[in-house]
Amino acid sequence: MKIAFALALLFTLAPASARTPFQARCEDTIGESISVFTLRQNGYRVDNSYSFHGLTQLKGNRAPGSYVLGLTRAESRVSIGVKGRMLSDPATGYECVAPRLEVNLTYLPIVVYVGREFAPGTCAYREILAHEMRHLDAYMDFLPRAEKVVRAALEARFAGKPLYAPAGQARNLLQREIDTGWMRFIKNEMAKVEALQAAIDTPQEYARLGKVCAGEVQSLIRPAKRKNNT
């Protein structure tokens, strides 16, 4: 995967075949550029406090005339800490830094909603909850996949080598690259889970849920729908 940011061009990597004394000192003494990842999944809870009308409003964007019987909401957090040793060379007017990036990918506790019309233990409740568990599993499974993609991109960019910049600029340039490039890249990668979530909510799946349990779902929501329309 090729990742290119304009700010990255302000750094120059030293050619391994023709190292200056300063380049040799940087590469041999300050250590490698590394990325350390922390993944945190904070579990989930089930909430039965909303009616299916409330869940429909909570979801927002939906097909006209459709209702939301259950809903799974996840909120992610991304943080990148920047550390690393640095050396300067007054003779050349350059400095080098070996970045240590501490990347944290986190889900806040995920909330699984089931409409309060569906009592726990009933067939309809079990079916709706099972559907929402598929959404939950998709979120849980995606985090390590996102980490793998991000890790590969960071390793390709920094290649374990120090970065070089004019004296007094290395840390600021590195932080700007993180803030304007890598944060956006990681958040976009994390957002790809929503395509997996949308693939679960097919028209066929909605039709199936409407017919399960000998029509129990429809029998429970039909009176509420009529009341809401009057």
At 227, give phi and psi (nearest 5°).
-65, -40
Residue 86 lies in a domain: yes
Q: What is the pLDDT of residues 80-111, one digit of tens each?
A: 999 989 999 999 999 999 999 999 999 999 99
Residue 5 lies in a domain: no
pLDDT tens per residue across all 230 residues of the chain: 333 333 343 455 445 557 889 989 998 898 889 999 999 999 999 999 999 889 988 887 766 667 889 999 999 999 999 998 999 999 999 999 999 999 999 999 999 999 999 999 999 999 999 999 999 999 999 999 999 999 999 999 988 889 999 999 999 999 999 999 999 999 999 999 999 999 999 889 988 888 888 888 877 776 555 555 54
d(CA 140, CA 193): 10
Domain that includes residue 124, residue range: 13-229
Residue with tokens 């019987």: 69
At 31, give phi and psi (nearest 5°).
90, 175
Whole-number Cα distances in Å, 18 to 15, 33, 104, 168, 221? 6, 20, 37, 24, 74
Name which of 202, 166, 167, 48 is nearest 111 in CA terms: 48
Residue 7 lies in a domain: no
Q: What pLDDT is recorded for position 10?
A: 44
Residue 196 lies in a domain: yes
Residue 198 lies in a domain: yes
Could you tell me whether strands 94-107 and 34-41 are parallel, antiparallel, or unpaired per DSSP bridges?
A: parallel
Helix 203-229 × helix 52-59 angle, to 10°: 120
Tokens of 119: 């009592």
Q: What pLDDT is recorded for position 38?
A: 95
Name which of 36, 39, 40, 38 is nearest 158 in CA terms: 36
d(CA 19, CA 48): 65
At 60, give phi and psi (nearest 5°).
80, -105
d(CA 69, CA 184): 33
The CB-based long-range contact list for 176-179 (8 Å cut-off, 24+ gap) reads 176/7, 177/5, 177/7, 177/8, 178/80, 178/82, 178/101
Q: What pLDDT is recorded for position 145?
A: 95
Residue 2 lies in a domain: no
Q: How many domains does the chain have?
A: 1
- Beta pairing partners, 111: 45, 73
Residue 3 lies in a domain: no
At 123, give phi and psi (nearest 5°).
-60, -45
Residue 184 lies in a domain: yes
